[in-house]
Structure 1
Amino acid sequence: MTDIWSVDEHLDDILRAVRPLDHLELQLFDAQGCVLAEDVSVPVAMPPFDNSSMDGYAVRTADVEGSSEEFPAALTVVGDIAAGSGSLPAVGPGEAARIMTGAPLPPGAEAVVPVEWTDGGTGGGPAESMTAHSTAPGGTEVRVHRPAVAGAHIRTRGSDIPAGTVALTAGTLLGAPQIGLLAAVGRATVLVRPRPRVVVVSTGSELAEPGTKLGPGQIYDSNGYTLTAAAREAGAVAFRVSAVADDAATLRAILEDQLIRADLLITSGGVSVGAYDVVKEALSDIDDLPGGVEFRRLAMQPGKPQGFGLIGPDRIPLLALPGNPVSSYVSFEMFARPALRAMAGHAELHRPRVRARLVADTPLTSPPGKRQFLRGSHRNGTVRPVGGASSHLIAALAQADSLIVVPEEVTEVEPGTELEVVLLHHAR
């Protein structure tokens, strides 16, 4: 291996080291946002019985054949059927049963005529709703003004999912519709890969908490918030630790404390070659943190300094990201996000990528031998750079919806050139 790692080499090393988290059986709401770890079959047909899709009257088709406004079919109402009814009146020749949406179809009925096709049992014109029929049904007559074919306005047993069908396969991300389906088939718990727990630690004596007054030489800790939010967007349960000053012993103690609640640790800052690179100092002597973190230089811009290793008795992955805001975020997208998705059991680890035509006033330049990631605005097959290439321009980062990728071998890109674009803020 050379002293300079490629982007792909570093990512491959990370993905080889992380593993999907052990599956857990969780209650449905706790499983939301997790990846399913089992196939879920339907124990009973859905719906489990023929039922009405409308408020109306359950009828035999022969009894309403040829009915019209001028010559309505007059039927005797033999009962009411509400959703959840257990005892059902049989519908014989010349009879109908008033039925509500979701109620089971009674014996003998072949179709449901909507209440709007009837007089609602009032003996007058077409009914507006079932509330028009307020008298007891026994012996009441309803007039039907339209014919109905067999099966009209009936949701048949198993029409949604037949019994024994696999409703959801392992690897499915559980969102609201999937949680609803699990409930509909009677599952109270489900086997999933849990959402990874991430602890984010920013380092730097210059960092102040947002909401406090800045002192001389201080800046607010934006990385801690950016990375925690990014981890949550990636599906993790993320925690931010208050920024740590440039003290190696303090940082070591904090990392050791956080191991108990972390599936992945992320630090930002302190990985370069300066005199106060606290992360490198803290993790270069880790007798109390078994494992090892290797610090590397990558052929990328921004994000050249990186660190990765497994620490603690349980060998928890640690990603040490650079401290400049854009470098930190780009590094998260390229390395931390795929690692988190692998741990959560996702099959697709990466953001969507497309080809787009560069729109710019002047050619783009890129350092030789480095893969450059520029912030971009992607629209209708084109991409325009947002802000400059400097890695401290967080305002431009907030306006970008994509990253423009300039390959290592390319040093200049003319407007109109087609480039690879990483789409950000797209659900995946």
Structure 2
Amino acid sequence: MTATADAEAAANELMPLAEYLGSTLRRLRALPPLDLDLTQAHGNVLAADVIAPHPFPAFDQAAIDGYAARWEDLAGAGRLGAHPAFGQFDTGPTRSVRLNVVGDLGAASWRPVRLTAGTCFSVAAGAPLPIGADVVVPVHWTDQGMAAVEILHAPKRGSGVRRAGEELAVGQVLATAGSYVTPPMVATFAAAGIGHVLVRPSPRVVVVATGDELVDVGRPSQPGQVVDANSHALTAAAVEAGALAYRIGICDDDPEGLRGLLEDQTLRADLIITTGGTGTGPGDMLRRVLSRPGTGRGTVEFTDVALCPGTALGFGTVGGEEVPVVCLPGEPGAALIGFEVLARPAIQLLAGAEPVFRPSVKAHLLETVSSPGGLREFRPAHVAERRGGGYTVQPLAGGPYTLSGLAEANGLLVLGERVTTAAAGSTVDVLLLDRRR
């Protein structure tokens, strides 16, 4: 049997990634909802649809500064000419209409007033519209008179007016459950008279790196020492995913120390992420410790998944509160890919977000790449939009160089288990990495 055949036979013994994610993620439930003040809700996920209890605008109002009038009183005024290329323009002498200005209305005016024939009110944008008014004439279409005003041009009926409920009607769905609360949403809710919303809290995520060989950042690796890049990177990734993330740092390969540390963190965590020790080698202590059932302590199941890079992933619960834990490989590139396929969706599920996976597109591959048979490979890539529509994707460094590739990637090229070679010009799936959160 050839080396390639041996590798494919070994890969066939691994659990397909889709099957693993289906069996794992269905065990998670969104965190219980909280009723939050509107100013605190930004960035959280709505736990219920938000319905407008009041209209917006709440009353008929002027949309511009000008003069509120009855359109029939302006019918004799001249109109501006118009041309699609040049816009509106003055066509020459026109007959004006003179109206008496019977008052001024500002945004703070509250007493109802009524128009009579031949009269108008000077109004500011946002002012309540007088009863009977159905048009607001822009200031620059008049002589800007104070006691009486000359109307030089007649706008269309309804111009310069915002009617009650014109933008948001009572009972309208303003946002649906599963949506992140954005600043424009906050403004929309406030405008409709909403002061509190029901949201899922941001998941509290604790990140722990394990291994006797680990040392903290600030010095280079030496034989027998490896700088802990993972806990820093995974904490940043959890924050990017919308979590409140806490880096605990390095835990040595001490079984009791590890158990105690994790149980202590269950008091403040909705999810724990570990990195390192997921394999079956002599130094992989975490897998041996967490896969043993403990009374009231939960159990973590480790699975060899058809994933490249990094095949060994762990998922389960720890502590009396049975806080979910995700165990990722120790190699930095594999840890970050493992975060993308398992930990990030877990955070999204706890937050109640929909969808839980990143968006994907079909893209035109610019360079031929090879992929290990039997494994679903996630390879760093650069995605660009094509003129005329569609996308192109340029593969970046993968395999043992995945970490450096990820540093400049804005997408992940996905090559399925049956793909050993993807030719330039073929169409492939790409996950879009949004780094703006």
Native 8 Å contact 1:65 1:148 kept in 2: no
Residue equivalent to 1:81:
105
Give the distance between the partners of 1:238 and 1:215, measured in 2 at CA. 26
Report the alpha carbon displacement of residue 256 of structure 1 after superposing the two structures with TM.
1.1
Report the alpha carbon displacement of residue 71 of structure 1 after superposing the two structures with TM.
3.4
Report the alpha carbon displacement of residue 214 of structure 1 after superposing the two structures with TM.
4.2
Tell me which of 335, 360, 377 is aligned to 1:353. 360
Could you tell me which runs of 5 or more consecutive residues in structure 1 were left unpaired when the two chains were aligned: 122-136
Q: Provide closer, same or farther for how the CA distance between residues 322 and 352 of structure 1 changes in structure 2, counting only shifts above 3 A.
A: same
Residue equivalent to 1:127:
none
Residue equivalent to 1:377:
382
Q: How does 1:56-205 map to 2 (within 5 A)?
A: 56-68=66-78, 70-121=94-145, 140-205=147-212
Residue equivalent to 1:38:
48
Give the distance between the partners of 2:278 and 2:249, measured in 1 at CA. 18
Q: Identify the range of structure 1 (198-207 vs 329-338) with the bigger mean alpha-carbon deviation.
A: 198-207
Native 8 Å contact 1:14 1:339 kept in 2: no
Residue equivalent to 2:403:
394
- Deviation string 1:71-129 (CA, Å, 9 cap, x unpaired) is 322222111100021124432222221100000001232211011111211xxxxxxxx
- Deviation string 1:346-384 (CA, Å, 9 cap, x unpaired) is 231211222223222xx4332222222211112233222
Give the distance between the partners of 1:393 and 1:159, measured in 2 at CA. 53
Confirm whether residue 19 of structure 1 aligns to residue 34 of structure 2: no
Tell me which of 309, 312, 316 is aligned to 1:309. 316
Report the secondary structure of 2:266's partner residue. helix
Give the distance between the partners of 1:95 and 1:15, measured in 2 at CA. 68
Native 8 Å contact 1:231 1:237 kept in 2: yes
Give the distance between the partners of 2:304 and 2:159, measured in 1 at CA. 69
Give the distance between the partners of 1:219 and 1:72, measured in 2 at CA. 84
Residue equivalent to 1:9:
19
Native 8 Å contact 1:91 1:109 kept in 2: yes
Report the secondary structure of 2:286's partner residue. helix
Report the secondary structure of 1:13's partner residue. helix
Q: Provide closer, same or farther for how the CA distance between residues 404 and 58 of structure 1 changes in structure 2, counting only shifts above 3 A.
A: same
Native 8 Å contact 2:219 2:227 kept in 1: no
Question: TM-score normalised to the size of structure 1?
Answer: 0.88
Q: CA RMSD in A?
A: 2.2
Give the distance between the partners of 1:410 and 1:66, measured in 2 at CA. 75
Partner amino acid, structure 2, of 1:404 = L
Give the distance between the partners of 2:137 and 2:102, measured in 1 at CA. 15
Give the distance between the partners of 1:150 and 1:418, measured in 2 at CA. 54
Q: How does 1:243-282 map to 2 (within 5 A)?
A: 243-282=250-289
Report the secondary structure of 1:17's partner residue. coil
Residue equivalent to 2:425:
416
Q: Identify the range of structure 1 (239-248 vs 190-199) with the bigger mean alpha-carbon deviation.
A: 239-248
Number of residue pairs the alignment of both structures matches: 406
- Deviation string 1:208-255 (CA, Å, 9 cap, x unpaired) is 333x34474444322112212222222222221122233333222221
Tell me which of 295, 301, 306 is aligned to 1:299. 306
Q: Identify the range of structure 1 (160-169 vs 309-318) with the bigger mean alpha-carbon deviation.
A: 160-169
Report the alpha carbon displacement of residue 39 of structure 1 after superposing the two structures with TM.
2.5
Give the distance between the partners of 1:405 and 1:149, measured in 2 at CA. 56
Report the alpha carbon displacement of residue 264 of structure 1 after superposing the two structures with TM.
0.9
Report the alpha carbon displacement of residue 160 of structure 1 after superposing the two structures with TM.
0.8
Report the alpha carbon displacement of residue 318 of structure 1 after superposing the two structures with TM.
0.6
Question: TM-score normalised to the size of structure 2?
Answer: 0.86
- Counting aligned pairs with the same residue, the percent is 40
Native 8 Å contact 1:256 1:289 kept in 2: no
Residue equivalent to 1:367:
372
Give the distance between the partners of 1:75 and 1:415, measured in 2 at CA. 73
Native 8 Å contact 2:241 2:348 kept in 1: yes
Report the alpha carbon displacement of residue 286 of structure 1 after superposing the two structures with TM.
6.2
Give the distance between the partners of 1:99 and 1:50, measured in 2 at CA. 13
Confirm whether residue 52 of structure 1 aligns to residue 59 of structure 2: no
Q: Provide closer, same or farther for how the CA distance between residues 357 and 343 of structure 1 changes in structure 2, counting only shifts above 3 A.
A: same
Partner amino acid, structure 1, of 2:370 = T
Give the distance between the partners of 1:214 and 1:289, measured in 2 at CA. 41
Give the distance between the partners of 1:300 and 1:23, measured in 2 at CA. 34
Native 8 Å contact 1:401 1:425 kept in 2: yes
